Structure formats: structure tokens, C-alpha cells
Amino acid sequence: MGRNPLDKLADQMRTDWDRRVGHDYRFWMGDGHLDDAHMWKTGERDCATVLEGIPGGATATALEIGCGVGRLLKTASQHFGKVIGFDISRLAVDKARQLIGSNASIELVVGSGIDLQPVDSNSIDFVYSFAALACMPVPVIASYFNEIKRVLRPTGSARLQVYLGQELSVHESDTLHLRSFTPDNFLKAANVAGFTVLSCVKNDISDDGSAGLGISNCLITLRPNEQLSASPDDIAKALLPNGESKEVNPVALEAWMALNYAEALADDGHAQKARDAVDYVVAHCQSATIDTRDILDRVIAKSSAVVAPDSAEVTAVDPSVFENNLGVLRDKFPAVHARVLAARDSVPSTISSKMTKDGVVLFSATTCLDHPEKPRSAAEAWVRRSLIETRFNAAKHIVVTGFGAGYHVEALIEQAKVPVSCVEGDTALFVAALKARDVRQLLAGLHTLVVGSEVNATSMDAGTELLVRPQMAVLNPRFVEQAKSSVYSKRGLTELHPRIAVLGPFHGGTLPTAQYSMAALQRMGHKVRGLDVSGFNDGYMLFDGFLKQEPRRAVMRSQYIDVVSNTLLEAFSEKPIDILICMAQAPISAKALTELRSRGVITVLWFVEDYLRFTYWHQMAKFYDFVFTIQKGDCIDRIRAAGAGAVHYLPTACDPTFHAPLILSEEDKEKWGSPISFVGAGYHNRQQMFSTFSSYPFKIWGSEWPTGKPFDRMVQEESRRVKPEEYIKVFNATDVNLNLHSSSERDGVDPTGDFVNPRTFELASAGAFQLCDHRSLLSELFEVGKEIVTFTDLPDLKEKIAHYQAHPEERRAIAEAARIRALRDHTYERRYEEMLSIIYASKYEHLRQREHNSPWAEMIRRADGDTELKERCERACARGEEPALDGLIADIVTGQGKLTEVEQKLLFLHHIRSQVLRMKREEAGLNN
Amino acid sequence: MKKRYPHKSRVLLVNITRLGDMLQATPTIAGIKAENPGCHITVLVEKQFAEVCKIIPNIDEIVGIDLNFVCRSISREKDGVIDAYDYMTKFVDDLRSKDFDYCLNMSSSAYTALLLNLIGIKRNGGWTSDEEGYRVIETEWARLFATSVFHQNRQYNSLNLVDVFRCSADVDQHPQKLLINVEKHALEHCEKLVQDARFTNTGPLVAIQAGASQGKRQWNPGHFVRLIKILTEQHNARVVLTGAEKERNIIDPIVAGCASPNVVSVAGKTTVPQLAAMLSISKVLVTGDTGPMHISVAVGTPVISMFLASAYGFETGPYSAGNIVLQPVIGCGPCNPNKPCSKPDCHDTISPELVAYLAVARTQGEVRSVPATVADPRNVVVYNSVFDEYGFMDLVAINGTPVDPHTPYRVAYRKLWLDDLGGFDVPKPVAKTGLRVMDQGLDGLGRIQECATHGQQLMDVLVSLVKDDRSSVVSLKNVNEQISELDRKIEELGFTYGHFGALTRMFVFAKENLQGSDAVDLASQMKSIYGDLERRCQKFAVYYAGA
């Protein structure tokens, strides 16, 4: 059953405006004013225009549609006995409450966005709307017409600010572009809605760029007449006969506005605000047409780089300043003191200082580490703005990265109510700061100081929050990354509860890896959604039978992947996720990955393939925020160069709950066992090497093997693919398991082989003895000789087979050591701990914010006063239910004991919805 | 009449979603007021009906529930559910604070039942729920209501739901019509509309409601055009088409098809009070089973009402004397209201000529007979609405004897319920034989009665086992299994012999409403339920024999 289109539009408006207000209410709702005082002033001005000629008085009640943060309300409340401000954004209304403070004349309502409930009919004297209606979808405007008619007293009036002129139709879900109507259509709409237009006055005060669009900013005054209001559909038709456009990209304008704002902020030296604006675009407005990375770099560079001081400007240094600073440093931070002494005479010439009215500022090459003109006041403002972030509300300790000349650290100590520490990666810069100005008081006030060395994670306890100085992020990104990792990696594992989806391939050897991954994540307590798309494989394979030409097949396979991808997108719309982990060859399109990223989902690829053999990463890497590979070196560099957000090494692993020692029946031992076995597909190098084994007691299990001589004696069951539950029996029933990594090019052992296959870990975890071909990365994972035995070529292999067949006790000892190591270091749990630590290091704030803003989090906060309801929300959230009523009542069962009051109330809501839907179906004739 | 809760002082009447239902409750409301002077009556309706309810007499307070807000909130992402929950919590608290001593909820919806359990009103005349969320229907009349609207049983019922409703509320003294106030300014508005129409005819003003709640219940627009042409061209009538704005897609083509100065549409131009006023100045209304039909009856304007598709005249026919009800004779009618129909043949059994004949006749006075040549009883039954000696509405066929195999059962059930539930002294025909003789048409009744008798015996066994400390668990289990099997059999017999479905459905509802947890007490209640079934079987046979 689809939802009411009007409700969907309301949801869109609410989401959009909550997001914008959350970013910067003055920019999005107050014409970009840099301070509230200016905002109120323009509010007074606009309100005066709106109220011109409108009778007020102590008994009169006014209502504003789209009051935002209340810019006009304060002034309006002086004119009327009561003013009701309606806005769809809860954040805007909360902000309005905060900004306006106590005012008995003002009532603020978070509206549905489409009506004026719960305002009584015939109860309002004056309805107005300013800078709001033009951004609303036309069906919503039409609905408001109806509502205005309903709430206005017969003697009341309404004044609406709209744009008239040439018709500007935008996408119906667009809540930002200006809409404009022809004067004739607006008049018709007002008439069918039951209004008489009293006047239409051009509003020239606000410079909104409308003149350039061929439209005029107008204030229309309406009075209700005797006519009944037509339906919203008919009003909408009158207003815009051809309906809203389906074409305009609603995201582009928002991104464009935010990026221009960011650039203007950067030009004005408001680096952090500029960065916030860019972050906003990155988080919410990502689209194929906007490369935010470039713009981010440009904005950061603009906000950081200024002209470096020439030699005349460089300040003279008073040596006693440095010595005095050293004195405090020695007493409070002796380790840092020692480091500073060692570096005191090695400050490079690229570091300089300059005197401003506010004090000395430091430069590293062309980058000013402080504000180049007003270091003190700018630092105070930066700290003030930074501390507004909600994450600092509960912080017990704040660590700032970057010392600069210390102004922002001083401001932070002053403003933060918790201990403050500082980490500075560059000792020379710190020495320069100590020489430039007196920071004794600052040093004395610091909780911890780390200079020039790696940040120690152990000092970053659970209450620690990191504040990154933008200049530091530009100058020393690696240090900032390391600092973030220290603070957030481990903490993320315990504090974050992201919703993770694991997407496996249609078929092939990686399919079980996806299943092991999901199981491991579940054991780790994560909310995991397994996406088993293997059922789609039959359809995928059908193309081979229908189409002979490969290009045609490729086209259809691609379209098939699009269908699967769209299905996944729908699934994620129903049950949103935070992280998508795709295994190699996961069937998801670039378009779908882009869409998910635009929804704020972190995309991850665990590329458990040889990057030289499977090269689709060339095209796909850039659609992933993280790529994890089983190879190092060139592999990582090349995938990173292909555009992946971050690339890290992460070998495959084992699942000890599955890859375990088994007690086999005699029958199983007979069937699956052998003195020597191999499990795997018949790749070239394997065929080449094992063709010489026909005289050995050797069983080969797996697909794609020749079944003629000499393999007829070795290859089992006509070379069928063996299932994981079968090959684990082979491992257990075999004395010597051979593990030869595949190669389509080399004979025998590939001397350049680097990565380690899953079989290595699985054999180890099963307690099975294996002889593994030499791999360059193997010795990092197992101690060769003690935990694993390797071979380098055929004679070596045959010699070791003979040796270990003759020494079963050695086999047992090595297999046991391998098992201990595998269980300790190479389980999927260990791998996912590592993977998530890496993700959390850079995405902790994003994920936490997402969690904080998630529908469940909001519901849990709102349910705070009702213990049972709150617990029910928490349980539903933990179950991974959809954040909606259905999720909340999923575990309520009638007829199994007394229902609690909360349960009854929730069921009541559920039944109301069912009833109303049924009635609507009847009204729509669906049951006829 | 037998009464369960004769004295009421603070009454909540739940009638949330439909205006027609609200109007059909007006005799009950008036009756409660008449029988309980000083009683305060609150009605709970959907918020959009709250305004309209102000023109319904005898209501002291109207409480509106904003279902749309609840639904919108639930659908909204993030904390919308909590908004809905908070709204509902406050709503429940407000209702609790009103301290009602009696509630009448005749909506079978699950949510009203849950709401009433949350409010916690002790005495109920209709649907509520228990603490486990199960449906509870306390009174026998309310169970009869539920039984009668159960689709299988509908055509065996001849009690108008207005009467069943009022009996659920113990109302004896009641007006024999629906009630609504006509406002003066609404009347003036409508008189002006008629004046502005500039009709050239001078004959009776005939109102026509062409739209209906469901498409399949809506007479063919072509028939309406023909009807109107007959009325305006042959009978000097002036025709006003009523309806809501959303019905204009039906009405506008009818107006266009008539192309007459004597036809005007006020669809979408009248509020409910204005519609009531418009109907009050009309001589007759031609309609389907619609809300305007009930309004017309309430303002005293007779109706010619067509009960098409799932509509059934005995059940929801116009509640006052002297109205005409047209019920097509067709094997599939009344059909299931929840199922679509792609071939509504019932529409063609009623001709525009017949409707025109009846409309003209009714403008001249009550119609007590119609020649079979005008209305063939094999195609359509023409009923006139009357009240019987017990004050219950009934329909009397006026175009000959209907060819309807359900009639004897309907007659027997009517007498059975008036006797057994109402306590009225209904004259009994002399029974020819006992039930042991398999009378024609009574197949299955004896088997149901035998089950009922056996059930009482099993209850005696059960009680003795429960009271005896030495009873084994096995023997208790054995009796319980026999009881379960017996109950299943009774229900199955009701489905197999559909004309006795009402008897077994009443049994099932009663069983669902067993109260308490004491085994002996429960067994005693259950024995009484089997006893009720047995007694009703016997009475039914007697009344059927005389039908």
C-alpha cells in the first residue's frame, strides 16, 4: 500500500528543513546573516511590510505559515494578542524557542506541513507567510489554501508572499527552488479556494534575485468569501495547470548554494564554518555532477593560505619568553620538555612568525596556523562554534590537534568545562610557538600535552572528543588520521551500533566468505543484514543459453545487475543501513553505490581476489569509501589511484565455528579421507603439478579438473564442486592436505605469489595439517616451520610429503600450533574488528551523528519519559526492526497474557491505521 | 423489554467514522435521554464529523478524534509514532477523566475495542476488548448485531440495525425515525439555490442522490438520465441532484445528459446542514443506501431507495414509516461488501420507469401497493417501511409475494430474537411436531440441538470432575477434548446449514465472552450457553413452523 503523496511531500519538506536548520539556520532560514541581531533586524523590516494596514490588537490572533526560527514572530507578537508560528521543522521550532525565549504571546507548533491542525476552525484573524510558500510543492500550497480558509474567521484576512510573473515550475519534491505562478493562475487558485484577492503589492525590500528570473516578489492580501473551498487538487490545478516538473535535479541547487556559501566563508576567514558547509555538501548533496573533493581542497586552501610574512614583518623574539615557557614545561610535561630541548635549535626557516594587533601568529611556509589578522578573537569564535557540536555536550575530555601559537588552545581551556589536552605532530612548530609568545598559563592549564610523537590510544578514554584544527588537517593529515584512529577506532567498536549489510556475489568461492562474514559480525553483536543474492544466479546464467554473442550477453548481464541493484536500493529504503560491505564480485552497480553514498551509507569492498587477475576495480574502486585487499604494495597504490576513498590490507580468515576439527564416522573417513588430498578448482598450475601424482595415494576434490588420464585415479566424483560442509570433512580425514594457490599463467608454484588464500586459514582452523606453497605474505600470518610448512617447487613438495607422512607426531604438533594461531589472529571476528577500527577512525563522527539522528534514536529520546515505551523502542532497535510502528509492535502477541497499557496503545494506533487505510481504499473504489 | 443496564448517567457513544452510522444512532440517543432524564451523553466521532454532529439533537458533548493526524504521524519518519502515541495517551487520559459509567460502541473495529479497554468503562453495550486484546461483546443484542452483519447471515435478518443498536443500549422508548435539526440559515441558502435554478417546471421538487459509497452500489448513470427525463418531461418535476464534490464525475454527466432547465446539481455546493435543508424542502429523495438517505429520513422527506449489490434493505433501510425500498431479486444479492463486482446485473432489475412511478406516487402520499405489472416481484421486491407492534421497523412487500426462499427463515428469526432477547410476548403458532421430525427446511437444526444438549451433559461431567479431588488429569483432558470437538462440530454445522448460521454464530460469540478463571464458574457459564443454543433451536422450529 503506497502512502499518501501529500504525506510523502511533507516528509521530504521536514527532512530537508531539519537538515538545513541543523547545518546553519541563519544561512538557510535567515538570508545568511552572520549574527542573530542582524537576522532580527531584517525580520522587523519584513514583518512591518507584511503587517502594513492589518488591524491588530490584544484580542487578535495571527498565524504564520513557515515561521522558521521565528524571524518575523517577535515583531508580529507586538502587533497581535497572540501569534501562532507553524513550521514543519522541529529543529527550526526548537531553535525559535531558544532564540525567542519566554514570550506568552507566541505559540510555536511543529506542523504536519500540510495542514494547520490543531488550530480550530474560524479562530484566526490574520494568516501570513513570508519567504516560505515559494519553496513548497504546489500540492502543499493548495492544501494550505484550504486550511487558511478553514482557520480564518469570516472577517479575517491573509497575506502571502509569493512570486508572480512567468511560470517557474520545479520538481515536485523540491523544497528550495523558487516557484512562480502567472498572476491569472494565482487569482484563479485563490478564487476556487474561496478567497477574494484584495491587493497585490510588489515587495522590493528583499534582494532575492527574482528580477533576473523574470518574476516579482509579491505580497497578496486575501479575504475569505462565501464560496466553499475547492479540493486541494483543483486548487493545485488552477495554480499550475500542467503540474510540477519531473526533471529538475532537486539536489543541485542546495549543493551549489552550500558550496558558494562555503567559498564566501573561506574568503572571509571563517575556515571551520566553510569546512562545515563543505562537509554538509559531502554528507547530504553528493551527486555525480559535483566533485566535492576538489572544492573541499580549494576551500581549505583558501581558508588556510595567506601571504607569508616577509622578513621585515617577522617578529623579534625575546629569549626570556622561551625560557619561561620551558620552565613550566619542565615541571608539567617533562617528556615534552626533553623533546623540545633536543629540537630547540633546529627550527627550519619555513617556520616564521608575524605580529598582529592581537598578538604573534605562526606560519608554516604559506599556511598561517592562526588567524593572520585577528588570532585571538578568531580562535575564540572558532572554539565557540566548535563546541556547539552535540558530541561535545557529553565530552569528559577534549583533545585538540595542533598547537599553532596557542590562541585556540587558550580559548578552549577557557570555554570548555572539561579538561583540555593538545597533540602537536611537529616539534619544530611547537618550539617556534614557545619562542613566539608567553604560553605559561596555557601550559599550566593543559591536562595532557603530546608533541612530535604518536598519540597514545590508552590516554584517550571513552569520554574523550577530538577537535581537529583545520590547518593541522592540511599540514599534517597523517598525524590527524593517526590521532583520530587513537581516539575513535577502539571506542567505535564498543560505542557505535551501525546497521551493517553484507553483500555477497551471485556464486563462486567468495559466496561462503560472505556468509562467514555475516555470522562473525552477528557474533560480535552487530545489527547485520545478510543479502543473499545467490538466488539471482540462475537468472544471470540463463543469458548464456539465450544469447550467443558475448557483447549482447554483456549488455543483458549489465541490465540484470541494474535490476538486482535497484532491488537492493529498495531493500535499503525499507530497512536503512549505515555500512554496506560488498564482497568481491558483489552484483551492485556504480549508480546504486553512488545513490547509497548520497544517503550517507559508507560503502566498503573487501576485494578478496588477485587484483592482477580480476581487474574490475579499475572501474568500481571510486565508488567505495574503503577497499580492503588481500595484497599489499602496488595493489594498494593502484586501487587507491583508481579513486577508492581509502585502501587497506586485510587478509581473508576462517570461521572456527565451521572450520573445526570433526569426529568423523568410519564411513566418512572412508569416503572423504586419504593420505594426501587437495581441494580446489583445476587451475593450470595445479593440473601441471599434480599430473605427476598419479602414483600417490592422492584424492583431488573440486571442479574444472580433467577426468582423463592421469587424473582419472585422483579426481573424485567427476570433478564436481564440493560444498564447504564437504571439504571440511576432507580436511579432517586427510593426513597431508596440499594447498597450492592458483595461477593461470605459471607452472607449479608461482614464485611471485603474495596473498594467502582462505583455504590456508580454514585448514589451520580445522586442525588439519597442510603443505602450502610459498607466498610472500604468509610469514606475517603464520610462523613458517612451526605453524605451517611451505614448499617452493615440485621436488620440495614431494620430499616434504614423504617426510610428514613418516612423522605423524610432527604433523599433529604443527597442525595444533596453526590452529592456535588461526583462532587467535585469523578469525573473521579479528578481521572485522580491524576493518571496523579503520572505518571508525575516519568515520566515527559521521556514524555517531547518523546514529544520533537515526529515527530510532529520535524515538528513544522522545520516549524518555515513558520507561516501558523507551525500552520497547530500544528492543526494537536492537532487533534491527524498521523504525516505524510495525517495528515497534512486531513482538506483541495477543492472547498470550495480559497486554500492558503501552502495548494496547500501540496496537490501538496500528488498528487505527488499518481502519483508515481500509476506508481510503473504499473511498477510492478499490473494493468495488 | 429485557434490560441489562437500565440506569445510565454519563454515557459515551462511540461512532467514529461514518455520518450515516451517527444518524442511525439518533433514536438510541433520544431513547437514552428519554429513559434517563439528566443523563449526559458524549459522542466520540472522527474530528471531521464533529462539526456536523452539532445538528444532531440530544448530544451534550462531542469529542473528536483526529484519525488523520494519527495516521500522518505514524507514517512520518523519525518520531512520528511518538507524536501519535502522545496524542493518543492524552486522548485516553482526557476520556478517562470524564468518568463515564456506560459506553455503547457499535463499531466492530479493533481499535475502538482497544480504546474502550484503555478508558476502562465498566458497563458496555457493545464492542470492547479484554486485557489480552481479545474482542469482548457483552450484550446479547450487540452479539446479534455482530451476527447479523456476518455476511453468511445477512439475508436471514429482518431487524433493522437501528433497532438492534438501540436494544444493545437497553432503549425501549424511542422515536420511530432518525433525528437531525434543520438550521434556518441553511434552509434559506437552499431556498435561494432552488430559486436561482430558475426551473421552468412547477411540479414537485425531487432530490436525487446519484453517488454511492461504493461503485458497485451505484445505479447506472444512464438510468438516472432516463429517470430524470421522465420526471421532468412527463411529470412537471423539478430535479435537484445532490452529492459531494468528489461525486461530480458521476453527477455532471447526468446533468449534461438531461440537458434540461429543470435539472440542477448542487453537488459540492452544500455542507451537511445545507444538504439536510435541501432534502427537507424536497418532496422525495431517490437514492441508493447512502448517508443522504438517512438525512432525508431524519428531516421527514420520504425516500425511494435502491438497495443494490451489497446493500440490504432489511439491515440498513430508511428508518421511518412510509419509505420505499427496492431490493433486486438476484441469486448473488446482497453480495459481500468487501468483494468487487465486475458484472453488477442487479442494477438492471430496477428500471427508471419503475423508480419514476414510485417517486411520483410517493409525492402524492404513502404507497401501499404496486401492481406486479409495474414491478415484477420475480425481478424486484418493492417494500414499504412500517413499524410492528413492538416498535421495530419492518419492510412489507407491496408488489405481490416475493419469490424469496429466505423469507420463512427471516420471519422465524425475527420472532425468535424479539422473544428470546427482547422478552416480548410473541404469539407462538401451534407446533406440529417436535424437533425429532425432520421438518422440511429444518435439516441440520436437530443436529445442532443435539450438540447443545450433549454440551450441557458434558458440562455436568466436567463440573463433577473438577469438584472431585480424586479426578485424574487424563479424565479431565478427555472431557475437554470432547468439548472442543463438540464446539467445532456446532460451528461446522452452522456453516453447512447456512440458514442456522445465526444460531451458531451467537453461540460462538457467547463462548468468546466467557468471563473469569474459576473452572466451575466457567463450566456453569458454558452450560448456560449450550442451554441458550438448545432453547433457541426449539423456539426457532416453532416460529418457523408458523412462518
* Local structure of A602: helix, strand or coil: strand
Q: For residue A33, is it within any domain?
A: yes
Set of chain B residues whose Cβ sits within 8 Å of the Cβ of A909: 70, 74, 81, 84-85, 88
Using the 3D structure, point to which of A396, A431, A460 is the last residue of a domain. A460
Q: Is residue A489 part of a domain?
A: no
Amino acid at A123: S
A92 contact partners, CB below 8 Å, separation of at least 6 = A17, A18, A21, A25, A29, A67, A68, A69
Closest CB to A913: pick one of B74, B77, B215: B74
Are A752 and A644 found together in one domain? no
Q: What pLDDT digit, counting tens, does each position of A787-797 carry?
A: 999 999 999 99
Confidence of residue A251 (pLDDT cuts 50, 70, 90): very low
Q: Which CATH class is domain B184-419?
A: alpha beta
**Does residue A430 sit within a domain?**
yes
Report the distance separating Cα A353 and Cα A343, nearest Å. 18
Given an 8 Å threshold on Cβ–Cβ distance, is A904 in contact with B339?
Answer: no
Highest mean pLDDT, choosing among A33-42, A316-325, A523-532, B359-368: B359-368
**CA B459, B460, B465, B468: dihedral to nearest 10 degrees?**
140
Whole-angstrom Cα distance, residue A10 to residue A16? 10
What confidence score (pLDDT) does residue A212 get?
Answer: 60
| Residues A255 and A241 placed together within one structural domain of the fold | no
A890 vs A822, higher pLDDT = A822
CB proximity A876 to B under 8 Å: no
The mean of the pLDDT values for chain B is 92
Q: Tell me: the pLDDT tens digits for B296-315? A: 999 999 999 999 999 999 99
Q: Is the pLDDT of residue A379 over 50?
A: yes
Is residue B200 within 8 Å of residue B354, measured between CB atoms? no
The CA distances from residue A816 to A660, A774, A780, A813, A878, in Å, are 12, 20, 18, 5, 38
Taking CB atoms and an 8 Å cutoff, what residues of chain A touch B131?
898-899
Residue whose entry in the numeric block shows the C-alpha cell 431507495: B305
- Bridge-partner residues for B482, per DSSP? none
* Same fold? B10-168, B184-419: yes
- What pLDDT is stored for residue A205 in this prediction? 61
Residue-wise pLDDT tens digits, B355-382: 999 999 999 999 999 999 999 999 999 9
Residue B389 — very low, low, confident or very high, per pLDDT cuts 50/70/90? very high
pLDDT number for residue A345: 83
Say if residues A791 and A741 touch (Cβ distance below 8 Å). no
β-pairing, A80-87 with A646-649?
A: unpaired
Check residue A896 and give its pLDDT. Answer: 73
Q: Which of A460, A487, A512 is the last residue of a domain?
A: A460
Q: Which residue of A has its CA nearest to B81?
A: A885
**Of the listed ranges A232-236, A275-279, A368-372, A682-686, the one predicted with least confidence:** A275-279
C-alpha cell at B398: 407491496
Cell of B186: 441553511
Q: Is A411 in the same domain as A512?
A: no
User: Per-residue pLDDT tens for B255-298?
Assistant: 999 999 999 999 999 999 999 999 999 999 999 999 999 999 99
Contact yes or no for B81 and A898 at CB 8 A: no
Q: How many CB atoms lie within 10 A of CB B118?
A: 22
Domain residue ranges of chain B, discontinuous segments joined by +: 10-168, 184-419, 445-546
Query: Is residue A466 assigned to a domain?
Result: no
CA A144 to CA A239: how far, in whole Å?
13
Q: Report whether pLDDT(A287) > 50.
A: no
Q: How many residues belong to chain B?
A: 547
Pick the closest to residue A686 from A764, A769, A759 (CA basis).
A759
> Is the Cβ of A895 closer than 8 Å to some Cβ of chain B?
yes
Does any CB of chain B come closer than 8 Å to the CB of residue A109? no
Query: In this complex, do A118 and B66 lie within 8 Å of one another by their Cβ atoms?
Result: yes
Both A118 and A129 in one domain: the answer is yes
Could you tell me if A683 and A735 lie in one domain? yes
pLDDT for the residue numbered A317: 63
- CB within 8 A of A570, min separation 6: which ones? none
Domain co-membership, A22 together with A73: yes
Among A532-536, A871-875, B211-215, the minimum mean pLDDT is found in B211-215
How sure is the predictor about A172, in pLDDT bands with cuts at 50, 70 and 90?
A: confident
Measured between alpha carbons, how far is A140 from A142 in angstroms, rounded to an integer? 5
Answer whether A315 touches B (CB < 8 Å).
Answer: no
Q: Does A905 contact B at CB distance below 8 Å?
A: yes
Distance CA B276, CA B190 (A): 9
pLDDT digits (tens, 9 = 90+) for A602-652: 999 999 999 998 888 988 999 999 999 999 999 999 999 998 989 999 999
Amino acid at A680: G
**For residues B380 and B307, what is the distance between their CA atoms, to the nearest angstrom?**
10
Instruction: Look up the domain containing A598 and give its range.
Output: 497-649
Q: Which residues of A465-492 are buried (b: 16+ CB within 10 A; e: fewer)?
A: bbbbbbbbbbbbeebbebbbbbbbbbbb
Q: What integer pLDDT is reported at residue B15 of this predicted model?
A: 83
pLDDT of residue A247: 58
Is residue A448 one of the residues assigned to a domain?
yes
pLDDT (tens digit, 9 = 90+) per residue, A717-743? 999 999 999 999 999 999 999 999 999
**Are residues A34 and A151 part of one domain?**
yes
Q: Which of A779, A697, A786, A780 is nearest to A738 (CA)?
A: A697
**Would you say B213 and B290 are in contact if contact means Cβ atoms under 8 Å apart?**
yes
Q: Please, which residues 101-130 of chain B have a Cβ atom closer than 8 Å to chain A?
A: 109-111, 114-115, 117-118
Q: A15 and chain B: CB distance < 8 Å anywhere?
A: yes
In a domain? residue A906 = yes
Closest CA to B389 of B424, B440, B360, B428: B424
Under the banding of pLDDT at 50, 70 and 90, the label for residue A833 is very high
Residue B437 pLDDT greater than 50, yes or no: no
Q: Could you tell me if A572 and A690 lie in one domain?
A: no
Q: Which of A7, A230, A899 sits opposite B75 (nearest CB)?
A: A7
Who contacts A98 (Cβ-Cβ below 8 Å, separation ≥6)? none
Give the DSSP per-residue string, B328-383: E--TT-S--TTS--S--GGGGGS-HHHHHHHHHHHHTS------TTTS-TTTEEEE
Instruction: Indicate whether A302 pLDDT > 70.
Output: no
CA A110 to chain B, closest CA, distance in angstroms equals: 11
The backbone torsions φ and ψ at residue A641, rounded to the nearest 5 degrees and listed phi first, read -65, -25
Query: Under 8 Å CB-to-CB from B520, ≥6 apart: which residues?
Result: B463, B466, B467
User: pTM score > 0.80 for this model?
Assistant: no
How many CB atoms are located within 10 Å of the residue A558 CB?
10
Residue at A832 is within a domain = no
pLDDT in tens, B174-229: 999 999 999 999 999 999 999 999 999 999 999 999 999 888 899 999 999 999 99
User: Which residues 224-243 of chain A have a CB within 8 Å of chain B?
Assistant: 228, 230-231
Find the residue in A nearest to B89 (Cα): A905
| Domain at A590, CATH number | 3.40.50.2000
Quick one: pLDDT at residue A209?
Answer: 58
Out of A414, A433, A460, pick the residue that ends a domain. Answer: A460
Average pLDDT of chain A? 87
Task: Let me know whether A705 and A786 are in one domain.
Answer: yes
Provide the pLDDT for residue A296.
Answer: 54
- Helix, strand, or coil (residue A603): strand
**Å from B170 to nearest chain A CA?**
28
A483 is a domain residue: no
A800: which residues sit within 8 A by CB, 6+ positions away? A771, A789, A791
In this prediction, residue A928 carries a pLDDT of 40
pLDDT tens digits, A411-424: 999 999 899 999 99
Q: B431 pLDDT band (50/70/90 cuts)? A: low
Number of domains in chain A: 6
Range 134-193 of B in CB contact (< 8 A) with A:
134
- Looking at the structure, tell me whether residues A241 and A288 fall in a common domain: no
Asked if B514 has any chain A CB less than 8 Å from its own CB, the reply is no
Claim to verify: residue A266 and residue A345 sit in the same structural domain: no
Do residues A721 and A703 touch, judged by C-beta distance below 8 A? yes
Task: Give the CATH class of B10-168.
Answer: alpha beta
List, in sequence order, every residue forming a beta bridge with B265; answer none if it has no partner.
B241
Q: Are residues A290 and A240 in the same domain?
A: no
With a cut of 70, say whether residue A1 has pLDDT above it.
no
Question: Exposed/middle/buried for B436, CB within 10 Å: 0-12, 13-18, 19+?
Answer: exposed
Residue A306 has pLDDT above 60, yes or no: no
Q: Which residues of A touch B92 (CB under 8 A)?
A: 905
Look at residue A135 and tell me whether its pLDDT is greater than 60.
yes
Return the residue in B19, B73, B114, B339 with the most chain A beta carbons within 10 A, the one to mutate for interface testing.
B114
Is residue B322 scored above 70 in pLDDT?
yes
